Amino acid sequence: MRYDNETGHEQNSYTPNPLRCIALSLAVIYYFRLPTAEDNAQRDDKSTPSREELSSVISESIHNFDEIIQNELETFVNADNFVIPHGVAINQAIREHIFSIVVSIVSRIPLCIIGVPGKVYH
């Protein structure tokens, strides 16, 4: 993985953005665990809050919350930083899984990703 060396920042001059760090922490802890509004609609589930609802609440304090998460996922999880086998689509789900796995390994926090690979439950 060459991500740290290719972010375009000198190691001595890079200062982390606290709001970005908080946004990514919230994404790993809460956002990735919630279904999308589309998933809720397909399951006819009106009681489970969606990612979009959480995002709108968080965006009141952290502007562009969705964009921060999406930009980080696209920058971090790509074929340049990870060996992705031919034929495996780098979609939103795999980006979220790889990102969460890396964060959990680095921080030594257990993580369980449950479900059949590539299977979407309706």
- pLDDT tens figures, 89-120: 888 988 999 999 999 999 999 988 887 666 55
End-to-end C-alpha distance for the chain, whole angstroms: 35
* 82: containing domain: 3-107
Domain count, the chain: 1
Give the predicted TM-score (pTM) of the model.
0.76
| C-alpha–C-alpha distance, residues 30 and 62, integer Å | 15
Identify the CA nearest to 27 among candidates 51, 57, 48.
51
pLDDT at 28 over 60: yes
Answer whether residue 91 is part of any domain: yes
Answer whether residue 13 is part of any domain: yes
| C-alpha–C-alpha distance, residues 62 and 81, integer Å | 27
Answer whether residue 14 is part of any domain: yes
Answer whether residue 72 is part of any domain: yes
Q: What angle, 0 to 180 degrees and rounded to 10, lies between the N-to-C axes of helices 65-76 and 51-58?
A: 110
The first and second tokens of residue 80, run together, are 């340049």
Answer whether residue 112 is part of any domain: no
